[in-house]
A and B are shown apart, each in its own frame.
Chain A
Amino acid sequence: MSQDHSLNLKNSHEDPAKATMEGKNKFLGLWFFLGGETVLFASFFATYLSLRESTAGGPTSQELFGLELVFIMTVLLLTSSLTSVYAIYHMKNNNFKKMQLWFGITALLGIAFLACEIYEFAHYIIEYEFTFRSSAFGSAFYTLVGFHGGHVVFGLSWLISLMVRNAKRGLSLYNAPKYNTFAIYWHFIDVVWVFIFTVVYLMGMVS
Chain B
Amino acid sequence: MSLASTQKKSFGAVLWDYLTTVDHKKLGNMYIVAGAFFFILGGIEALVIRIQLMKPENDFISAGLYNEMITMHGTTMIFFAAMPILLGLMNAIMPLQIGARDVAFPFLNSLGFWLFLFGGIMLNLSWFLGGAPDAGWTAYTPLSTQSPGHGVDFYVMGLQLSGAGTLIGGINFLVTIVTMRGPGMTYMRMPLFTWTTFIASILILFAFPALTVGLFLLMFDRMFGSAFFDVALGGNSIIWQHLFWIFGHPEVYILILPAFGIFSEIFPVFSKKRLFGYSSMVFATFMIAFLGFMVWAHHMLTVGLGPVANSIFAVATMAIAVPTGIKIFNWLATMWGGSIRINSAMLWSLAFIPSFTIGGMTGVMLATATADYQYHDTYFVIGHFHYVIVGGTLFGILAGLHYWWPKLFGKVLHEGMGKIAFWIFFIGFHLTFFVQHFLGLMGMPRRYWVFLENQGLDTGNLVSTIGAFLMTIGTIIFIINIVYTSIKGEKASADPWGTGRTLEWAVSSPPPEYNFKKLPLVRGLDAYWIEKMDGNDKMTPAEPLVDIHMPNGSILPVTMTIGFFIASFGFIYQVDNKSWLALVFIGFAIALGSMLIRSLKDDHGYHIHKEDLEREAD
Residues on A close to B: CB < 8 A? 1-4, 7, 21, 24-25, 28-29, 32-33, 35-37, 39-40, 43-44, 46-47, 50-51, 53-56, 132-140, 143, 158, 161-162, 165, 174, 178
Q: Is B225 an interface residue (CB 8 A)?
A: yes
Please give, as numbers and ranges, the residues of chain A lying within 8 Å of B207 by CB-CB distance: 39
Select which of B104, B175, B208, B228 is within 8 A of A47 by beta carbon: B228
CB distance from A82 to the nearest CB of B (A): 25
Select which of A29, A43, A56, A139 is within 8 A of B226 by beta carbon: A139
Please give, as numbers and ranges, the residues of chain A lying within 8 Å of B333 by CB-CB distance: none
Inter-chain contact B546/A162, CB cutoff 8 Å? no
Please give, as numbers and ranges, the residues of chain B lying within 8 Å of A162 by CB-CB distance: 599
CB distance from B134 to the nearest CB of A (A): 25
Q: With A and B bound together, what is the CA distance between A165 and B597 in angstroms?
A: 11
Q: Can you sample 17 A-B contacts with CB below 8 Å? A: A1-B102, A2-B549, A3-B549, A25-B179, A28-B174, A28-B179, A36-B209, A37-B209, A43-B209, A43-B213, A51-B234, A51-B236, A56-B232, A56-B234, A135-B233, A136-B228, A161-B600
Interface centre among B233, B548, B596 (most CB of A within 10 A): B233
Among the 9-residue stretches B216-224, B410-418, B560-568, the one with 4 or more Cβ atoms under 8 Å from chain A is B216-224
Q: Is B513 an interface residue (CB 8 A)?
A: no
Known: A39-B205, A132-B226, A161-B596; 13 extra A-B contacts, CB below 8 A, are A2-B548, A37-B209, A40-B213, A43-B213, A47-B239, A54-B235, A54-B236, A56-B234, A134-B233, A138-B227, A143-B217, A143-B228, A165-B599
CB distance from A27 to the nearest CB of B (A): 9
Inter-chain contact B605/A139, CB cutoff 8 Å? no
Q: Is B230 an interface residue (CB 8 A)?
A: yes
CB distance from B349 to the nearest CB of A (A): 32
Q: Is B101 an interface residue (CB 8 A)?
A: yes
Select which of A2, A24, A39 is within 8 A of B547 by beta carbon: A2
Inter-chain contact B206/A35, CB cutoff 8 Å? yes
Please give, as numbers and ranges, the residues of chain B lying within 8 Å of A139 by CB-CB distance: 220-221, 226-228, 235
| Majority DSSP secondary structure for residues of A touching B | helix
Inter-chain contact B599/A178, CB cutoff 8 Å? yes
Select from chain B the residue with minimum beta-carbon distance to A28. B175
Select from chain B the residue with minimum beta-carbon distance to A25. B104
Q: With A and B bound together, what is the CA distance between A28 and B546 in angstroms?
A: 27
Closest 10 CB pairs of A and B: A54-B234, A139-B226, A136-B234, A43-B213, A40-B209, A39-B209, A136-B235, A25-B104, A56-B234, A56-B233
Interface centre among A7, A140, A158, A161 (most CB of B within 10 A): A140
CB distance from B287 to the nearest CB of A (A): 20
Inter-chain contact A36/B206, CB cutoff 8 Å? yes
Q: Is B171 an interface residue (CB 8 A)?
A: yes
Q: Is B212 an interface residue (CB 8 A)?
A: yes
Q: Is B618 an interface residue (CB 8 A)?
A: no
Q: With A and B bound together, what is the CA distance between A24 and B599 in angstroms?
A: 17
Select which of B175, B206, B214 is within 8 A of A29 by beta carbon: B175
CB distance from A189 to the nearest CB of B (A): 16
Inter-chain contact B105/A25, CB cutoff 8 Å? yes
Q: Is B602 an interface residue (CB 8 A)?
A: yes
